[in-house]
Amino acid sequence: MGKVVSVCNQKGGVGKTTTVINLASSISMLDKKVLVVDMDSQANTTSGFGVDKKKIEVSVYEVLLGKVSVEKVILKVREKIDLVPSNTNLIGAEVELIGEENREKRLKYALDRIKDNYGVILIDTPPSLGLLTINSLVVSDSVLIPLQCEYYALEGVGQLLYTLKLVKKNLNPSLEIEGVLLTMFDSRLNLSKEVAEEVKKFFGNKVYNTVIPRNVKLSEAPSFGKTIHEYCSWCKGAISYFEFGKEFLSKI
């Protein structure tokens, strides 16, 4: 049965979408089938796989509102990688779901039917702790938290952990922290090393050994609709995400 992991941090710019795309790529290279669910109305994960978000006729939005089944929305984007795409329609979903019954469980109802078809399901959550993120957490077995190695890396983490605690208590008792991934690490800067130490003190053995370096190729790849392994397979970013994929799978 596929493990469902939400990639979550309400701060923007921490490498969340980059991690979803390139972890999915690494897992597929390690011969496991992956489903990626784009729960962000910006749809950066969707376009990062080379899908034109303006041409999508049905997306995760219609799935959440019960208009179509998830099977009708899934796109095969790579060998061993499927995608439930997003588009700007998703902006309205938070408001439209407010009065609906079981509004926190819409994604769970959709994915429970198909999760046995995949080794791993990765959910890219929006940079907020609203109803779309709650839907993601309710269906997830665990949460992967990317943290950038910059000032204020841990700012807002308390709020995220409080949200996880509430979801665990009221909606999903089996929810756990999968791990914490340090991103945008610059080995030349004392700051990066200090932040890494601070995060390890806070999260202990939940912090992955692999760190993702600051790497310009990682930020360029999505604009070409490519994973880092397709765009520049020999660069530091590609190598570190592949190493992270191995570490991630070894722990699940």
HSE-CB of 12 using CA atoms within 13 angstroms: 6
Instruction: Give dist(CA 207, CA 201) in Å, integer.
Output: 10
Superfamily of domain 3-251: P-loop containing nucleotide triphosphate hydrolases (3.40.50.300)
Q: The tokens of 202 are what?
A: 């806070």
- Per-residue confidence in pLDDT tens, the chain, 252 aa: 689 999 999 888 889 999 999 999 999 999 999 999 999 999 999 999 999 999 999 999 999 999 999 999 999 999 999 999 999 999 999 899 988 889 999 999 999 999 999 999 999 999 888 999 999 999 999 999 999 998 888 888 989 999 999 999 999 999 999 999 999 999 888 999 999 999 999 999 999 999 999 999 999 999 999 999 999 999 999 999 999 999 999 998
Contacts of 225 (CB under 8 A, 6+ apart): 47, 48, 49, 50, 51
Collapsing DSSP to helix, strand or coil, 184 comes out as strand
Say what the pTM is. Answer: 0.97
Within a 10 A sphere around the Cβ of 229, how many other Cβ atoms? Answer: 23
The domain spans of the chain are 3-251
